[in-house]
Structure 1
Amino acid sequence: MKSNWKEVQPKSIFQVGISSPLSDQEREVLTLLYQPIIGSDAFSLYTTLLSEIETTGTSESLFHAELITMMNKSIKQILDARKKLEGIGLLDTFVKNDPELGTIFFYRLNHPETVERFFKDEVLTLTLLNTVGQRKLDKLFARFRPNFFSLAGYEEISASFKDVYLFKEEQIVAQNKQLQQIEASFEDPRPAKKISAVNESFDWAYFIQGIERLGIKLPDNKDGFKEEVFIFHNLFGITELDMVDFCSKSFDYYTGKIDAKDFERAVYRTYDPDKQQRKSEVVQNEQANLSEADQQTYRYNSLKMSGFSEMDIQMIMDSENNFPLNYLEALKNSKGGYTTPQERSLVKYLVSKSGLPNSVINILINYVYNIQKQPTLKADYVNRIANEWAQSEIVSPEKAIEHVREIAQKSKTNQSKPRYPQNNRVIRQETLPDWVDNPVEEKKLSPERQAELERELRELLKEEGD
């Protein structure tokens, strides 16, 4: 039975209960993971109701007027907070009508999810991300992430239970009734509730008919798969028929059941495909049949003639001769740092989604890490730069350097250094290196002079080969 706030009056009676006390870790999860999502009013309501519960697991009967006084909130504010708790599964509300006392409410507080179940729940994790942002989510994840130790090379020599404790199997039969009663007392009779993003715009029954006609079965985790189907429907607007088609391409031929991971990959391949990387526009001598080493020499001289300094050239050639993950590892190692799992995932994402050549991605990494002095690569900040560079058709490392020079010059006009804003926070000012602050004037060579230089270079390479 659902009610609106007008049916909850200050004189309405309520009781509150919880199945068992909260553990210290549950309180920490409630404070750090749930509070950012539900807000301070809902968090205050939960803790206030919890404080009224006695050792019996329930509170005495109270008037809502007392709740209004304790929280210093209006009845409507309390109802809004209550709905937030209900929506995220921390509170269930029940109501009954008493002939003498009128409407009586019972608020059943629920335990927050465990850390593992919270972060495995896509809806909860994404809701937290949308509330606190990527940087804070990374910190929270790092705080709660379990540490699994490597035991490679070790041999386990732990004693087993039966090696240490006396246990008589025949007692299981003799004490079976009592054991079952004890076990049953810890089972919650109510069905487990999962936070859901399901809406009614998707015809689930029609979808089920479609896969059944093909002889396909739902995976073992039916509820989790249903949630995923609805999320993809809301995310990409996939119809019931198209969803059936995806299932027909991602089921196990032996069991006939849908493979949830294959289904997920099939959807992402279609609606979020990898972007083909553009080839870096590297200046090479296409006429002369030069070896790899000679092409590198030609590349060096071409950059030198274009006005790039020794430091510029070294950076450009390093960016062209290393894969982005290796490049990032080398930069981190040179400063005594290490690459985080989030950074690895971000670099892989840039390679597959941005379309930028590896060499340009490497310059981007260098810019963020060495120039902006960021200790780690942050997804929102790096993606903002990558998007701008992709839209600006920056497809070579020298173009990336020139682009940074250009924004540096524009920023000097406004008496500020070039920066990409991070959540509207001012980035600390850093001294930019030679290749940003002191661009070298490029001198345009005449076609005759260019041909003469190339001829001299070919002769030089021929002499070196002899």
Structure 2
Amino acid sequence: MNYIGKILPVDGYSVALNGNLPVDYTKALTHLYQPLLGIKAIMLYQTLLHEIEFQREESTIQTHHTLMNYLNIPLDEIYEARLKLEGIGLLKTFEHETSEKTIYHYALQCPFSPHAFFQDAMLTQLLSHHIGKAKFNMIRSAYVDRMANAHPIGQNVTASFSDVFDTIIPEMGVQSLDQTTENTGPELEAIDFLWLEQMLKSRMIPYKRVLTAENKRVMTQMLQLYGLAQYELEKCVLWALTDENYLDVEEFKEACHDAFKTSKKQATIQLVPKTPTKAAPVDNSAPQTKEEQLIRELENISPKQLLEDLSSGNHASEQDLKVIREIMTTQGLPSPVMNVLIHYVLLQSNMKLSKAYLEKIASHWSRANLKTAREAMMFAKQEKERYRSSTEKQTTSKYYKKRTSTEVIPDWFKDRKQTPTAKQSESSVDLEKEKAEIENLLKQYASSNKK
């Protein structure tokens, strides 16, 4: 997926942490979150986490170029890692526009502790699919079963708060104990359970017993994870109901997984970046000229697609994509402007993508602050026309201006030029004279024979 140009190296950022980190958060990041997100996202999270200490001492805003140096990866990969952290619920991003640049405020969310991670149905299922059942059971037994066995045996005789303390308004004291913002896992789209409530009522099933807050959360997660239809979710709910009309959560999760395997036999469960659907152009009017068609096409496709289209559908080389990625990230060119630049350079250099030529023009266009494909195309035409006019003026003054010769030509050089003509005229005179003499001799010879 193309993330080039989403953020720029000069864009600033600040970091804050919501809540308190669990004691064993590093174990959760390494063994539980890393298989789902990848190493780059975990590296970004930990780097931002430790950046908080520097921001307490310095009031200056860091730029994303700092993150590129810390992580040693391009800016588009940093943006992709940021999206993964946001999707899984480990990061919230707030954008602030200033007159000079854009500043992003990154609010880190505390990861689940290993024990709390396994209480989340969606994350548990995802981890099982990513690392396999055997490894999943081993990690779960290490983190969950060991903690369960660590509880002491016997009757709990611990004194409660009300047994020990007495306050005027005890409710305030109780409320003040839970002020920390906790991570609630991935943010999912809310769904309407009214249709499910009506289905349970029609079957004389107490819907309040089934549609509890916890059960709704699990249903939302499974619906998002497996992409089930409404009728499939209904079947799973009915399958997992106990004799007392309570929802068996483990049975429900297994039923959702079986429904997924039945309906999508060729699919697999993996946490992968979502491919956005290309939005239709807002302007519904059809372009009138070929130039308008080209501009609209350059506005909507990616540089990778442009290279593949110009090479008759062949895959774009990694070297060309790397050159384009570096130029876009360093010069901050939008994707439509980069498309025009690629098209222009290929036409000017016999379909060769020269890095030096690209960088030279990209730096010029970056200073011109071009934003759209139309602006870039008009600017390229103006520059080409200016260059052509300048070249024609130089050519005219060099080759068509009348030159006055001040050289002195000697007489012998002039005579040498005239000598062949004089000799030629003299030879022609001698030839005529010889002809006349021969004719006279012939006449004399004829008269003598008659006598």
> Under TM normalisation by the shorter chain, which class is it?
0.3 to 0.5
Structure richer in helix, relative to its length: 2
Which is greater in Rg? 2
Q: RCO higher in 1 or 2 (8 Å CA, sep ≥ 6)?
A: 2
State the TM-score, normalized to the length of structure 1.
0.44
